[in-house]
């Protein structure tokens, strides 16, 4: 996916928790939510492609600040179980969300 996005001319930025482990997940729910909030606040980021999957997506919901997300409106792309975050961002922050799939 990284190669495809780079070929499209996109510059990638990774959350600091991407390689962190807390059990089977990349950090605690709070840590992952904090990283997502940093991405929304970063004015250099134009869109967010979340490649984390969704087995633990509901763990971050209580830590998201939807007012800040709404003020820093940018499209959010997610897959699989991330639909819980897609729906939450769409409903609570009124931002455009996109569900995508990755062909194996």
Q: What is the pLDDT of residue 20?
A: 66
Per-residue pLDDT at 2? 79
Quote the CA–CA distance of 32 and 41 in Å, as a whole number: 14
Domains in the chain with CATH codes: 28-104 (3.40.50.10740)
Q: Is the pLDDT of residue 9 over 80?
A: yes
pLDDT band at 46 (very low <50, low <70, confident <90, very high): very high
- In the prediction, which pLDDT does 23 show? 61
Element at 7 (helix H, strand E): helix 2-7
* pLDDT, tens digit (0-9, with 9 covering 90-100), for 55-75: 778 888 999 999 999 999 999
Task: Identify the pLDDT of residue 29.
Answer: 86
């Amino acid at each position: 996916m990284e190669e495809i996005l780079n070929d499209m001319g996109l510059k990638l930025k990774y959350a600091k928790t991407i390689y962190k482990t807390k059990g089977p997940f990349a950090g605690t729910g709070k840590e992952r939510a904090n990283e997502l909030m940093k991405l929304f606040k970063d004015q250099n980021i134009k869109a967010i492609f979340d490649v984390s999957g969704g087995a633990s997506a509901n763990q971050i919901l209580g830590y998201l600040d939807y007012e800040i997300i709404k003020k820093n409106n940018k499209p959010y792309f997610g897959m699989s179980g991330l639909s819980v975050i897609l729906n939450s961002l769409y409903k609570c922050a009124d931002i455009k969300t996109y569900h995508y799939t990755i062909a194996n």
